[in-house]
Chain A
């Protein structure tokens, strides 16, 4: 199945043996990642795991210590001027001009990308992000969530092929989060590639693939479903006479085998399956690798 998948999907991001060392800190260590066009990839990991560093390396904002990166077939440093037209980058901090209005901020980035009607484009994108009422609001008067959306608008304004978003939904309320994710899904359906770092497992579940980073290393890179299958399920059995628990792999065939031995006899009056969540699996993966 993976072979079929690779054969028709184009690679949007290819990272090979990537390393980045800051004085005494190894921020990234031999990272190997391949992201396909149209995918939404979630980048997950604890604070200081190297998520922002990896995103910065992909956009060409830092010099890797070792390894190679290709983004949309281009070297992010040697071909940066060609590449930067095609990518949208939203840093972790809003990175906006506090003295400018929301529209001026977005129009500035539109002008940089040579868009002929920067003001109209800025208004359109801000309206789509539910900021139509705040076009003339100076940035420092906005809430944290609003600033996040203005920052996102700046990265979307030139309609990039590839979006790299560093915690785009932090400080957003659940409804806005949901709206943004449906927008991300739409963009993915239109063939855009999204690379999104997040701390939230419910968001990671919405991704096509999830990369788990710890101390600069990729611990896992798989679909959320496959990652959950790496976890365990606790089966709670109950008959009239006794009650017991069994821990089995959450992977479907293993679970089926575990249940086959009981043939689900009539004696069993109750069966609860308590499957580990993606968060549980991630935490145990992080702890496994530590040990």
Chain B
């Protein structure tokens, strides 16, 4: 298994690209701050936490997805992907190597936003609720890395990732229960929301902040994310083109 060799290389690349690293750390924090300014305009008694806590899952989802997709496409464009394969690296090693490599970044990103959101919105939760949030963000990050790898298969250059943004970043914001209760949407739109892994990450975050932590709901949603994890790994491994 060459998973850890790939992961080490991915981490080395991230460390060298300080601008990229800084950008992916600072931007979510800035977004969270603007979120605070936005919610400060809401009338008193507005249930801010129902929006801002799931929002952390959304940031992790779209940034991780986007960064992974762009970097894997870059590997394809530079022909390094092909070179790895010719040097005997298996498709699954590459996929899992990326997951392990990016996990550190995604986790750090999620952790920082979580701390900032809890601090600036003055939210406090029991340890088990915090652990449930961390676990959810972790799984959400893994699924987003896999989604990024899967989408990269359909792009031959970096710019070709852009058309996927409205589809996979903007649309799920409306259909995943982050901005509105999906039960209030037309049935077909609610069902459409099921195909986005973000929906389950948001639901899990909502379960984590429910009074006393809604454990059954939390595990159910994490289970769905687990299905996405396995499904996307298999799908990526199958569709990942090894030869022209």
Contacts and interface: CB of A to CB of B under 8 A. Distances in A.
B80 interface: yes
Interface string B157-172: 0000000000000000
Given A93-B78, A95-B79, A99-B13, A61 B243 contact: yes
B243 A60 contact: yes
Nearest to B20: A99
Interface in B202-244: 243-244
A113 B83 contact: no
Given A59-B86, A89-B86, A112 B80 contact: no
Residue in B9, B13, B84 with the greatest tally of chain A CB atoms within 10 Å:
B9
A100 B13 contact: yes
A113 B87 contact: yes
Contacts of B180: none
B195 interface: no
B149 to A, nearest CB: 17
B16 to A, nearest CB: 4
Contact of B83 (A62, A77, A81, A89): A89
A91 B88 contact: no
A63 B241 CA distance: 11
B88 A112 contact: yes
Given A62-B243, A62-B244, A95-B78, A108 B85 contact: no
B2 interface: yes
Contacts of B2: 111-112
B128 interface: no
A119 interface: no
A238 interface: no
B82 interface: yes
A63 B243 contact: yes
Interface in A147-170: 154
Nearest to A118: B5
A221 interface: no
A100 B82 contact: no
A176 B5 CA distance: 32
Interface string B108-123: 0000000000000000
B89 interface: yes
Contact of B9 (A22, A63, A80, A108): A108
Nearest to B2: A112
A215 B2 CA distance: 39
B40 interface: no
Interface of A: 22, 56, 59-63, 77, 80-81, 84-85, 87, 89, 91, 93, 95-101, 104, 108-109, 111-113, 138, 154
5 contacts: A84-B87, A95-B78, A95-B82, A111-B2, A111-B8
Given A59-B86, A95-B82, A97-B9, 20 more contacts: A56-B244, A60-B243, A61-B244, A62-B244, A63-B244, A84-B87, A84-B88, A85-B88, A91-B82, A97-B80, A99-B12, A99-B13, A100-B9, A100-B16, A104-B12, A109-B87, A111-B2, A111-B5, A113-B88, A138-B16
